[in-house]
Structure 1
């Protein structure tokens, strides 16, 4: 018995008295808080981010202020849904695509990779930033639309639940695509052009700026392969009356297909991130 006790004591690991290092989730929250703090310190970026969809809503709702025939809705109602979708993609796809490319070019990612911080913590920090800015931008847009244009918001829990899952799937898919496209620019200087161009094209062919029933069918076919078209369509179903579904190509909101496409882009975007993400710029070898 004494020999067994001695052997157990000899082989048991000794306590160092030091606490275990924080995990990726905790570090991700700390990283997210830092990302959010840095974002709000840049006043120009904050103003542009939150003003972008509001300014465009004001412009389009003022220009196309007539009622939409036989739909029971107004142009302002339509553009609230469209600008909400564009704002979600702006705070996720565009923001991450540009900022990560800049951080890579400035060797911030390379330095972070050399620290004990788990790589997952970096991406969790970016996700927290996207969620906070996306929610705040959406809230500001909805308040502006309801106050200035008397836009009707969902009046029951079902409408808000529908809005919730569309928002989560949409911002997740767009964020993952933003991380993936950040590896395409060769330098920080080209990041804006590389990211903004496809985003701008998608806005025109996905029914953001132009009424969906006036977009050429072949453009709608192209846009249907990307998440923005389904994000717009799903949000139109939330904010527009049922009669407005007649404007859609299928004559309905197609919530099932919207969920399927957005979920598929979440999976596909994750695969693209795993296959293409680089911690070093191409010039670093």
Structure 2
């Protein structure tokens, strides 16, 4: 078999095994799948009687769209950074380097793991929200298609950021917590939790440079009524721009992530992995 194709096959198998392992204990199921949907659903139900100024959209529906966006951001950054950081520490990344096309298989495995985990997480967010929250619904066939490509492009655009951060962290357990700060900062100014129109003009400009704003805009286009577009910056959903910006981040991010991962794997030796393991065990105590 072609080595590259074999690497892809092995990567898909590895990603599926990692996904199944997420059900290993009750705590991981709660924290990994149920906590974020339950939190946003509770807030949305609590604010169901309010509306968003400008578009007349129920505030609960807007917050559920925010929850979908947050879920994509957390999966693409925090989850991937934790996995890559831990596997750099335990030697998995080093072993991938010495296998023919091992880095290809590694990237495929992590991508498939992210896709499967994201599909389940999004279903747990979308289904209860559509049933219980007024104004929150996939907007027909066009909305379903939009949601599908926005989610895929969003994860492709964001996951390389998580992979790069994870490969650079000296301590993945504490470093990932620090990653939450810029993620939450960008979320706060990118129209995810509050309409971006209320932000100062210079913050609006800064927000549009990063993928977070475009992820949120694409998600809202798929699950909120068309009238809500009036509350957006241009009064439209700007879907071509959403696709273009996310695609640029995905292509550029993948190239940078591959370079960083290969560089980190070359610099990692067996002795450094053993040292990292001993340090991790000490931190565990």
> For residues 211 and 235 of structure 1, do their structure 2 counterparts lie closer, same or farther at Cα, with a shift above 3 Å needed?
same
Residue 238 of structure 1: aligned partner = 222
The answer to whether residue 239 in structure 2 is matched with residue 255 in structure 1 is yes
User: TM-score by structure 2 length?
Assistant: 0.84
Once the two structures are superposed, residues 214-243 of structure 1 have per-residue CA deviations (whole angstroms, 9 ceiling, x without a partner) of: 233332222211111101011111122222
Give the number of the structure whose alpha-carbon radius of gyration is greater: 1
User: Are the equivalent residues in 2 in contact too, given 1:92–1:134 (CA < 8 A)?
Assistant: no
Residue 144 of structure 1: aligned partner = 128
**Aligned residues: CA RMSD:** 2.4
The answer to whether residue 16 in structure 2 is matched with residue 33 in structure 1 is yes
The answer to whether residue 204 in structure 2 is matched with residue 216 in structure 1 is no
Per the TM alignment, residue 20 of structure 1 is displaced from its structure 2 partner at its CA by 7.5
> For residues 20 and 264 of structure 1, do their structure 2 counterparts lie closer, same or farther at Cα, with a shift above 3 Å needed?
closer
Q: d(CA) in 2 for partners of 1:62 and 1:153? A: 15
Q: d(CA) in 1 for partners of 2:53 and 2:171? A: 48
- Give the alignment of 1:1-285 within 5 angstroms: 23-65=6-48, 66-69=50-53, 71-115=55-99, 118-277=102-261, 278-279=264-265, 284=272
User: Are the equivalent residues in 2 in contact too, given 1:72–1:241 (CA < 8 A)?
Assistant: no
Per the TM alignment, residue 198 of structure 1 is displaced from its structure 2 partner at its CA by 1.7
Residue 14 of structure 1: aligned partner = none
Per the TM alignment, residue 125 of structure 1 is displaced from its structure 2 partner at its CA by 0.9
Q: Which runs of 5+ in 2 are unaligned?
A: 274-285
Per the TM alignment, residue 63 of structure 1 is displaced from its structure 2 partner at its CA by 4.8
User: Are the equivalent residues in 2 in contact too, given 1:101–1:191 (CA < 8 A)?
Assistant: no
User: Are the equivalent residues in 1 in contact too, given 2:166–2:172 (CA < 8 A)?
Assistant: no
User: Are the equivalent residues in 1 in contact too, given 2:138–2:224 (CA < 8 A)?
Assistant: no
Per the TM alignment, residue 145 of structure 1 is displaced from its structure 2 partner at its CA by 0.8
Length, aligned pairs only: 267
Once the two structures are superposed, residues 76-118 of structure 1 have per-residue CA deviations (whole angstroms, 9 ceiling, x without a partner) of: 1111211111101211221001221122122232234344562
User: Are the equivalent residues in 1 in contact too, given 2:76–2:159 (CA < 8 A)?
Assistant: yes
Q: d(CA) in 2 for partners of 1:229 and 1:152? A: 19
User: Are the equivalent residues in 2 in contact too, given 1:77–1:240 (CA < 8 A)?
Assistant: yes
Q: Which runs of 5+ in 1 are unaligned?
A: 1-18
Q: d(CA) in 2 for partners of 1:191 and 1:98? A: 9
